[in-house]
């Protein structure tokens, strides 16, 4: 039976969980597991210069991807990069300012879409694929390499708003006032995402995750148009090329719409955000996809019995079906590394 397009992947616990196969133990990795909570990351980041220079330096990007694997032995390494390399590669200027997050020259008019250059995305992101090739050689045998991209809607919120916004107002207003031209942006990003994820898989990524951080701000009609439909297109395009590729979706904040999302996109795994009820997800989503989540990242900051009990509750609730332990969103910079070690130990000790 064909297990994977990659030899050896059949024995990896995380891949087995994503395929709905029995596992020896619950696989674990954490969103944003590389990053500022690790002193060794801060050191490499300083060496690289800017954040984007780190993303485009294969040697240093490989190093920061490996740092949490060395410390904790997670079941997966997630490629060190960012969702905003897509707008950067399309030709929109992106900068990351200390303490401010990403800053982009916002796209506010339909005419500006013609200036975006889909044709050079793969060429410009070649250093990212080189990082994947290096990781493929350096990762321990049981560790799954996860590639990723932002979902078109989430990336569009940054391209149109120019920065993180609490309400994604700029992108939503464009979508409401001029749905035809906004659809053009979504279609362009869907194509760019397919190209970018395809190149990562060709370079050696064994699974991919699509981060839709701002999916939860959309009303149902727009959720279906800008989150669900493009994700479905991306999954189908990837599967046409790599029939067994596990794809994880993370439609953060989608609530009950996660049922249609899982069913209609045909993703293999679904990332649950912090607010999702474990019992509800078990009953409604686990029959459709492998679940991944959903410990509150702030519980890992707090640590102690609160963290341990919440982790045990998640393990008990999801343990009967396909499941990958993770957080409900990315790990935050003030997380004590020791708390992460304790969490990994607890999950490892639970069958």
For ligand 1CP, the binding residues (CB under 6 A) are 31-36, 45, 51, 78, 80-84, 96, 101-102, 148, 150, 164, 211, 213, 329-330
Considering the complex, state which of residue 96 and residue 280 has its C-beta at the smaller distance from ligand 1CP: 96
Which residue from 56, 119, 118 is spatially nearest to 82, judged by alpha carbons? 56
Q: Is the dihedral of CA 319, 324, 328, 330 positive or negative?
A: positive
Alpha carbon 276 to its chain's center: 17
Considering the complex, state which of residue 34 and residue 289 has its C-beta at the smaller distance from ligand 1CP: 34
Considering the complex, state which of residue 31 and residue 276 has its C-beta at the smaller distance from ligand 1CP: 31
Residue number of the CB atom closest to ligand 1CP = 164
Q: How far is the CB of 309 from ligand 1CP (least distance, A)?
A: 25
Tokens representing 209?
């995750």
Q: How far is the CB of 206 from ligand 1CP (least distance, A)?
A: 16
Q: How far is the CB of 143 from ligand 1CP (least distance, A)?
A: 13
Q: How far is the CB of 264 from ligand 1CP (least distance, A)?
A: 22
Active site residues: 32, 36, 45, 82, 158
Considering the complex, state which of residue 4 and residue 81 has its C-beta at the smaller distance from ligand 1CP: 81
Considering the complex, state which of residue 159 and residue 281 has its C-beta at the smaller distance from ligand 1CP: 159
Considering the complex, state which of residue 21 and residue 100 has its C-beta at the smaller distance from ligand 1CP: 100
CA distances from 11 to 28, 94, 176, 190 (A): 15, 39, 47, 32
Q: How far is the CB of 14 from ligand 1CP (least distance, A)?
A: 15
The whole-angstrom separation of Cα 163 and Cα 200 is 26
Q: How far is the CB of 2 from ligand 1CP (least distance, A)?
A: 28
């Amino acid at each position: 039976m064909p297990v994977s397009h990659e030899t050896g992947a059949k024995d990896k616990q995380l891949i087995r969980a994503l395929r709905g196969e029995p596992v020896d133990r619950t696989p674990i990795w954490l969103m944003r597991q590389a990053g500022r909570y690790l002193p060794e990351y801060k050191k490499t980041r300083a060496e690289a210069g800017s954040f984007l220079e780190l993303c485009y330096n294969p040697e240093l990007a490989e190093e920061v991807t490996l740092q949490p694997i060395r410390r904790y032995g997670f079941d997966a390494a997630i490629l060190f990069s960012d969702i905003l390399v897509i707008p950067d590669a399309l030709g929109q200027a992106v900068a990351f300012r200390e303490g401010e997050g990403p800053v982009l020259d916002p796209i506010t008019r339909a005419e500006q879409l013609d200036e975006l250059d889909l044709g050079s995305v793969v060429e410009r992101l070649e250093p990212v694929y080189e990082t994947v090739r290096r990781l493929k050689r350096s990762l321990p045998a049981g560790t799954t390499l996860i590639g990723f991209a932002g979902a078109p809607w989430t990336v569009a919120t940054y391209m149109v708003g120019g920065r993180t916004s609490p309400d994604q107002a700029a992108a939503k207003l464009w979508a409401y006032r001029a749905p035809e031209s906004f659809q053009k942006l979504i279609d362009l990003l869907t194509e760019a995402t397919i190209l970018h994820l395809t190149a990562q898989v060709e370079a050696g990524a064994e699974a991919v995750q699509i981060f839709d951080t701002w999916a939860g701000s959309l009303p149902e009609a727009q959720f279906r148009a800008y989150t669900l439909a493009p994700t479905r297109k991306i999954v189908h395009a990837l599967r046409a090329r790599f029939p067994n590729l596990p794809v994880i979706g993370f439609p953060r904040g989608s609530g009950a719409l996660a049922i249609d999302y899982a069913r209609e996109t045909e993703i293999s795994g679904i990332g649950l955000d912090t607010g999702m009820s474990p019992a509800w997800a078990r009953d409604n989503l686990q029959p459709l996809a492998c679940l991944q989540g959903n410990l509150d990242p702030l519980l890992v900051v707090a640590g102690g019995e609160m963290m341990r009990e919440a982790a045990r509750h998640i393990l008990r609730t999801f343990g009967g079906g396909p499941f990958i332990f993770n957080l409900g969103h990315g790990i935050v910079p003030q997380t004590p590394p020791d708390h992460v070690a304790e969490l990994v130990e607890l999950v490892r000790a639970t069958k």
